[in-house]
Structure 1
Amino acid sequence: MDWNKPLPQPTTISQPFWDGLKAHQVRLQQCADCNHWIFFPRAHCPRCASASLAWHEVSGAATLYTYTVARIPTLPEFADEMPQILAVVEFDQGPHMNTTLVGIDEAALKVGMRLRPVFDDRPGSVTLLRYTSLDSDQAGVIEATTAAPAIAEPAPSAPRRQVACKDLDAMRTLVSQDFSGWSNEFVVTQALIDQFAELTGDDYWIHTDPEKARAQSPFGTTIAHGALVQVLVSRLTLPLDFEVTGFNNMVNYGSDRLRFASPVPSGSRIHARYRIKAVEQVKSGVQMTMEINIHVVGDPRPAVVNDLVVLYM
């Protein structure tokens, strides 16, 4: 699977730090003149301005300085990681660093708690430095994977309620302000986006050029076409708890409303839920409006809102 989250871009000055993480080591700079430990990587000591800086391997042991729990993603790409525990940790040598805590229950968080490093290998050539508590079961290395994530399938459902389309009162009992549970999940890969672009002729770079999108797009990555995400509802099994019966023909009559409310970055997992918005008698039969919301997994904002109209005749 293409990695859809932004990753650090090492510089000449910071490269030894990232090389250390790739080797599952924590490396910090120290000034040879005043012995001051330094992070973030620099060309001169911030204490005495000396350029005599050397890299040293350290244990990485640290203390939790402060933290916050983020429940709304700062970028759509991080929707599948919510909630995130964003933290500032203090190395035993003194410098502070921004990081993410993993393998810790929120209830156990406490400023001053002791932490150990976790090396998070990302697909490609970058390893990130996370932290966890000393007594956590979290592995010290999170291995990179290029396999698609496991796709959650809906749980077996109870027998559906039978509702006769000609019984208007019974049909109207389906109308609700509440949404259903979630469908199964589906991965929107770059390859799928490229296939849709070739089929439709919509090959605008924000969909098909990952390198340019990474540099110029406000999303930091390519995104799926809204029309593609809409039609992918056919790959999502909505957990319908009813079955309409007694009709001779059922027609997809179109949409009363169709909105592409938020982007779907390449590599995202999507799922959907629904509610019956309206049921009414029309000249040719009974018309039902089903509001379908497609979301990136973990994002409270829908990516697609579709008021689908179904006509039972």
Structure 2
Amino acid sequence: MSNKPMPLATPISAPFWNGLKEGRVQLQQCNSCQQWTFYPRRHCSHCLSHDLSWKEVSGAGTLYTFTVARIPTLPEFAGAEPQILAVVELEQGVRMNTTLVGLAPDDIRVGMAVKPVRARVSEDGTVLLRYTGADVDLVERDEVPKAPPAPAADAGPARTRIDVKDIDALKALVSDQFSDWSNQILVDQALIDDFARLSGDDYWIHTDPERARKEGPFGGTIAHGALVQVLMSRMQVPLSFEVTGFTNMVNYGSERLRFPSPVPAGSLLHSRVRVKSVEVLPRGTQMIMEFNIHVVGQDRPAVINDLVILYM
């Protein structure tokens, strides 16, 4: 499940959404004046007649206008691709708000020919209508959030081995620069529900999608902060170094733990890390590593965890 806003079919609009599920684009045509109407209404937008019929159309048209949202219009729309909002003028003369896919922003031109793309966006079969260039080989696409494949055990660059006694080399790792991103982890409603049962925290903002959509501040359910923190262990951050020569390594805790932004159900997470400090203590060598976990596409972290590692 995702917190992206989804259409709610009404008795008036249901034929449009059901048609998309079945692979058809349908518009209303007035039987009195033969004009086309969109969005779905009870009456003709031209002569106000209530005598309307649903007719299948190709969905083809031209690009009337567009804009590239460099900052997502909602956090739920953040992703690897830029959000390209558009208005398409169909062959029947009606205009439709949509999203462009399969196109680089530099290749988009007002007036270009475009065609519909059926985008499956949820497991219940809900389909949204996207658009792409008329010459692009794209008809359908699956946008249901899925967990990416786990990286291979030997994936990632070779690491520099640093002996725990080489304090100067360890301190040289301290930096304001973060590592590259880890692999991505899907946080769906099923995982949130499993954690709620395990932890006993079944508060409705996490476990009741319908109530969270209507009453919650985030438009749907969100993951527990503790769940997101725990998932850090499943994110393989590509570190450039490996500490060697110690007898024991202990996860000593967190010097600082913060949850700056929510993680909506259906989000993909990834993380990165930097070495914040290295200190020699009587009980061993302490390294503090700042882990930042982000929803993919968002600049603001969901979790900041200054993890304390003790090498003995």
TM-score norm. by structure 2 comes to 0.91
Cα contact 2:148–2:185 (8 A) shared by 1: no
Q: What residue is the counterpart of 1:153 in the other structure?
A: 151
In 1: Cα distance, 2:63 partner to 2:34 partner: 24
Cα distance 1:81–1:168, how it changes in 2: closer, same or farther (>3 A)?
A: closer
In 1: Cα distance, 2:283 partner to 2:150 partner: 39
AA aligned to 1:135 is: D
In 2: Cα distance, 1:249 partner to 1:149 partner: 33
Shift of residue 248, structure 1, vs aligned partner: 3.3
Shift of residue 263, structure 1, vs aligned partner: 1.5
Shift of residue 300, structure 1, vs aligned partner: 2.3
In 2: Cα distance, 1:12 partner to 1:81 partner: 35
Cα contact 2:278–2:287 (8 A) shared by 1: yes
In 1: Cα distance, 2:112 partner to 2:272 partner: 40
Partner secondary structure for residue 116 of structure 2 = strand
Cα contact 1:76–1:263 (8 A) shared by 2: no
Number of residue equivalences: 310
Q: How large is the Cα RMSD of the aligned pairs?
A: 2.2
In 1: Cα distance, 2:147 partner to 2:247 partner: 41
Shift of residue 9, structure 1, vs aligned partner: 0.7
Partner secondary structure for residue 80 of structure 1 = coil
AA aligned to 2:163 is: A
Structure 1, 300-309 or 15-24: larger mean CA deviation: 15-24
Q: What residue is the counterpart of 1:124 in the other structure?
A: 124
Structure 1, 199-208 or 277-286: larger mean CA deviation: 277-286
1:291 aligns with 2:272: no
Structure 1, 60-69 or 159-168: larger mean CA deviation: 159-168
Q: What residue is the counterpart of 1:239 in the other structure?
A: 238
In 2: Cα distance, 1:195 partner to 1:22 partner: 30
Sequence identity, in percent? 59
AA aligned to 1:126 is: T
In 2: Cα distance, 1:143 partner to 1:289 partner: 41
Shift of residue 268, structure 1, vs aligned partner: 2.1
1:26 aligns with 2:25: yes
User: What do residues 186-206 of structure 1 show as CA deviations (whole Å, max 9, x unaligned)?
Assistant: 222322222221222211001
AA aligned to 1:163 is: I
Structure 1, 193-202 or 48-57: larger mean CA deviation: 48-57
In 1: Cα distance, 2:40 partner to 2:245 partner: 71
Cα contact 1:153–1:183 (8 A) shared by 2: no
Q: What residue is the counterpart of 2:308 in the other structure?
A: 309
Alignment of 1:128-143 (within 5 A): 128-138=128-138, 140-142=139-141
Structure 1, 181-190 or 67-76: larger mean CA deviation: 67-76
AA aligned to 2:45 is: P
Partner secondary structure for residue 79 of structure 2 = helix
Cα distance 1:202–1:96, how it changes in 2: closer, same or farther (>3 A)?
A: same
In 1: Cα distance, 2:250 partner to 2:209 partner: 39
In 2: Cα distance, 1:293 partner to 1:184 partner: 13
In 1: Cα distance, 2:216 partner to 2:81 partner: 23
Q: What residue is the counterpart of 1:192 in the other structure?
A: 191
In 2: Cα distance, 1:64 partner to 1:177 partner: 44
Shift of residue 127, structure 1, vs aligned partner: 1.8
Cα contact 2:147–2:184 (8 A) shared by 1: no
Shift of residue 282, structure 1, vs aligned partner: 2.9
Shift of residue 225, structure 1, vs aligned partner: 0.3
Q: What residue is the counterpart of 1:277 in the other structure?
A: 276
What residue ranges of structure 2 are gaps of 5+ in the alignment? none
User: What do residues 188-247 of structure 1 show as CA deviations (whole Å, max 9, x unaligned)?
Assistant: 232222222122221100111122222222322211100111011111112122122233
Partner secondary structure for residue 277 of structure 1 = strand
In 1: Cα distance, 2:126 partner to 2:84 partner: 21
Q: What residue is the counterpart of 1:210 in the other structure?
A: 209
Cα distance 1:81–1:161, how it changes in 2: closer, same or farther (>3 A)?
A: closer
Cα contact 1:70–1:82 (8 A) shared by 2: no
AA aligned to 2:134 is: L
What residue ranges of structure 1 are gaps of 5+ in the alignment? none
In 2: Cα distance, 1:158 partner to 1:119 partner: 39
Alignment of 1:255-274 (within 5 A): 255-274=254-273
TM-score norm. by structure 1 comes to 0.91
Cα contact 2:2–2:267 (8 A) shared by 1: no
Q: What residue is the counterpart of 1:63 in the other structure?
A: 62
Cα contact 1:295–1:301 (8 A) shared by 2: yes
User: What do residues 7-41 of structure 1 show as CA deviations (whole Å, max 9, x unaligned)?
Assistant: 21111111121222222222212233333321111
